Structures are given as structure tokens and as C-alpha cells.
Amino acid sequence: AQSVTQLDSHVSVSEGTPVLLRCNYSSSYSPSLFWYVQHPNKGLQLLLKYTSAATLVKGINGFEAEFKKSETSFHLTKPSAHMSDAAEYFCVVGAGGTSYGKLTFGQGTILTVHP
């Protein structure tokens, strides 16, 4: 069984300041982990993914995430927020090993960026 918990339902930052969106996961297997972003009235877009290679994963638009097995965490960060980053972000866990890729989504974190 697998699950994911996003620790903040809303995060508000000022433009140019760092972003931290927190995620903890639970998985019976060595997990695949993803962050997806959903802009208003748009589809889900993959930001980055971890699949047991490097623990620090770089994604699109300057986002990165660090896999910490000891803390079962996969927090998403960005050094400097941009207005266009305002969206809802989903931490997602997929089955590990050779199991098929059913995804389990967190509840989402809405990121607001103030000018």
C-alpha cells in the first residue's frame, strides 16, 4: 500500500522569495515519486520525478526536490518564486519495482505568489 501526505494545503510567498512545499510518503516498495502542477483550468503537468537514481532531482521552471528515505520525505523547492508559479501542486507516489504505474495523489498544495 502507498500513501502521500502534503503537509500544507495552502502556501503563500512573495515574488522572489524561496518556495517550500512539503510532502511525506509511505510505500511498501522503493517508490517512484513525482510532483505535478495544475494551473487554473489547465491539465496536470509533470514537474519532476524520482525513480531511485540521484536523490536530488531537478525539474522544469527551476524547481527541484530531494528524496530523503530516512525521513520519508520528498519536499519541493524553488529558490525564487515567480508570479507564474501560482498554481496547485500535487505530490504523487507510484508503485515501485516492476509494478505498474498506478499513481496515488496527495491532497494538493495551493501556492499563492504575491507581488
Partner 1 sequence: GAGVSQSPSNKVTEKGKDVELRCDPISGHTALYWYRQSLGQGLEFLIYFQGNSAPDKSGLPSDRFSAERTGGSVSTLTIQRTQQEDSAVYLCASSTTGLAGGEQYFGPGTRLTVT
Residues that bind partner 1 (CB under 8 A): 29, 32, 36, 42-46, 49, 51-52, 90, 94-108
Question: Per the structure block, which three cell numbers stand in for 54?
Answer: 540521484
Q: Between 51 and 77, whose beta carbon lies closer to partner 1? A: 51
> Cβ 114 to partner 1, closest distance in Å?
25
> Cβ 44 to partner 1, closest distance in Å?
4
CB atoms inside a 10 Å sphere around CB 7? 15
Q: Are 19 and 75 spatial neighbours (Cβ–Cβ below 8 Å)?
A: no
> Cβ 47 to partner 1, closest distance in Å?
11
Q: Between 44 and 86, whose beta carbon lies closer to partner 1? A: 44
> Cβ 115 to partner 1, closest distance in Å?
29
Q: Between 14 and 107, whose beta carbon lies closer to partner 1? A: 107
* Residue 63: CA count within 13 A, CB half-sphere: 22
* Residue 11: CA count within 13 A, CB half-sphere: 24
Q: Are 63 and 88 spatial neighbours (Cβ–Cβ below 8 Å)?
A: no
